[in-house]
């Protein structure tokens, strides 16, 4: 306002050391009107200037925004191009990665197949190896069983030969009058030795059995020779042997006189003995059929089942021969019951002796679990041979009956 007053040639108004309200309160007339006018136009002028400044700023801002948008557009275009390139690269990398993954999957599948084949091969080889070791174990077990069978067979044969030879030696020695009285004692000692040896087999293991058997044999032989030596030094024994020998001579002289009485009384002793021995043999054969499994396995080995062909064949052989054995016993029993064999004392004595041995060896067959093939000699010696003797008795009885009929009719045989 003072500038306007100075330009108009009027005196300006100064407000020294006063504030705005004090200075304005001093204005009067034209100064107040001028102040009011300037105050009003000053706000408009300020607003106008502000509008210009705002327009300039807005224009500048718009220019900057336009430039920024152009720059951003360029950057976006460059970014899109770079992004497209990156997308192409990413697609190429993805395709390459997919190829690598497919290769890895193919390799993994081939490895899995290889591991499967390897596992199958390992399982098959392990199974074959287990079968091989199982087969080797079975072969070893079979060899051990065969070895035990051989040892048992030779032990039984050795025992049979030893005691048979001993009985034969005793029988030969007792044919001399010096040793005649010692027969019962020597046979009794032989039987005791056999029983002790047989019982000890049940309580002594296989490894020490042969050594103990040798000791038993040595002791038996020593006792046998001691008995022979004592009898040779003291021939009388428990009784006077010479007097008995003389008594036997007298009996021999009187034999012709008493032969008829003895012949008549012999059947009363022979028939019960024969009946008893036949009955014992029948019971023993029934026991053989009942325990046939042990004899069969000792014959064919323990690696066969009870349904195998070898087992069935062995069972047929054992049962068939045993039935034939029983048939022979039944035939003898029938002939004996009919009274046909009463007059054949000599043959009956032989049959009784064979039946006694049959009972002895059949008992041995059961106790020691002999192989089923041993039933053949048992049947041959103690079943078939007495059967043939019985056939001879039957034939002799038929011939005797025919001769009696001819004599009764007065027919004389030419």
35, 69, 90: which is the final residue of a domain?
90
Residue 207 lies in a domain: no
State the Cα–Cα distance between residues 161 and 218, nearest whole angstrom: 15
DSSP 12: -
Residue 231 lies in a domain: no
Closest to 246 (Cα-Cα) out of 177, 166, 343: 177
- CA 193 from chain centre, in angstroms, equals 41
Residue 172 lies in a domain: no
Whole-structure pTM value: 0.41
DSSP string, 303-336: TS-TTSHHHHHHHHHHHHHHHHHHHHHHHHHHHH
Residue 305 lies in a domain: yes
29, 55, 90: which is the final residue of a domain?
90
Residue 227 lies in a domain: no
Write down the number of H helices and E strands in the chain. 12, 0
Say if residues 392 and 400 touch (Cβ distance below 8 Å). no
Say if residues 356 and 337 touch (Cβ distance below 8 Å). no
Residue 307 lies in a domain: yes
pLDDT, tens digit (0-9, with 9 covering 90-100), for 150-204: 555 555 666 777 777 777 787 777 766 666 666 777 777 778 877 777 777 766 6
Residue 213 lies in a domain: no
DSSP string, 99-154: HHHHHHHHHHHHHHHHHHHHHHHHHHHHHHHHHHHHHHHHHHHHHHHHHHHHHHHH
Q: What is the pLDDT of residue 293?
A: 87
Say if residues 355 and 382 touch (Cβ distance below 8 Å). yes
Q: In terms of residue numbers, what domain contains 390?
A: 265-406
Q: What is the pLDDT of residue 236?
A: 45
pLDDT, tens digit (0-9, with 9 covering 90-100), for 35-83: 776 667 767 777 777 788 888 888 888 888 888 888 877 877 777 777 7
What is the number of domains present in the chain?
A: 2
Per-residue pLDDT band at 119 (split at 50, 70, 90): confident
Average pLDDT over residues 307-320: 89
Residue 167 lies in a domain: no
29, 59, 90: which is the final residue of a domain?
90
């Amino acid at each position: 306002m003072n500038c306007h007053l100075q330009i108009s040639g009027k005196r300006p108004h100064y407000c020294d050391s006063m504030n705005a309200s004090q200075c304005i309160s001093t204005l009067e007339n034209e100064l107040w009107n001028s102040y009011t006018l300037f105050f009003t136009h000053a706000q408009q002028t300020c607003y106008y200037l502000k509008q210009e400044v705002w327009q300039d700023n807005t224009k500048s801002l718009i220019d900057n925004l336009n430039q920024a948008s152009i720059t951003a557009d360029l950057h976006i275009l460059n970014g899109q191009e770079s992004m497209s390139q990156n997308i192409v690269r990413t697609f190429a990398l993805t395709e390459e990665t997919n190829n690598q993954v497919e290769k890895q999957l193919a390799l993994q599948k081939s490895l899995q197949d290889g591991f499967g084949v390897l596992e199958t091969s390992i399982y098959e080889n392990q199974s074959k190896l287990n079968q091989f070791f199982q087969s080797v174990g079975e072969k070893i077990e079979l060899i051990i069983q065969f070895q035990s069978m051989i040892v048992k067979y030779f032990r039984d044969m050795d025992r049979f030969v030893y005691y048979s030879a001993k009985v034969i030696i005793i029988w030969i020695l007792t044919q001399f009058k010096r040793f005649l009285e010692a027969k019962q004692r020597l046979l009794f000692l032989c039987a005791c030795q056999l029983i002790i040896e047989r019982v000890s087999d049940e309580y002594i293991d296989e490894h020490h059995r042969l050594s103990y058997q040798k000791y038993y044999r040595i002791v038996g032989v020593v006792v046998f020779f001691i008995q022979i030596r004592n009898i040779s030094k003291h021939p009388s024994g428990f009784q006077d042997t010479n007097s008995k020998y003389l008594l036997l001579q007298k009996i021999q002289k009187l034999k012709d006189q008493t032969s008829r009485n003895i012949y008549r009384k012999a059947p009363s002793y022979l028939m019960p003995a024969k009946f008893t021995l036949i009955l014992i043999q029948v019971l023993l054969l029934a026991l053989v059929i009942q325990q046939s499994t042990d004899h069969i396995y000792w014959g064919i080995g323990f690696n066969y089942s009870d349904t195998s062909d070898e087992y069935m064949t062995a069972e047929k052989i054992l049962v068939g021969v045993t039935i034939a054995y029983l048939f022979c016993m039944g035939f003898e029993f029938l002939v004996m019951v009919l009274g046909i064999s009463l007059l054949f004392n000599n043959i009956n004595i032989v049959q009784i002796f064979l039946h006694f041995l049959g009972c002895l060896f059949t008992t041995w067959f059961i106790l020691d679990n002999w192989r089923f093939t041993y039933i053949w000699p048992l049947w041959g010696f103690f079943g078939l041979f007495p059967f043939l003797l019985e056939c001879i008795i039957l034939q002799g009885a038929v011939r005797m009956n025919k001769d009696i009929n001819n004599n009764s009719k007065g027919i004389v045989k030419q």
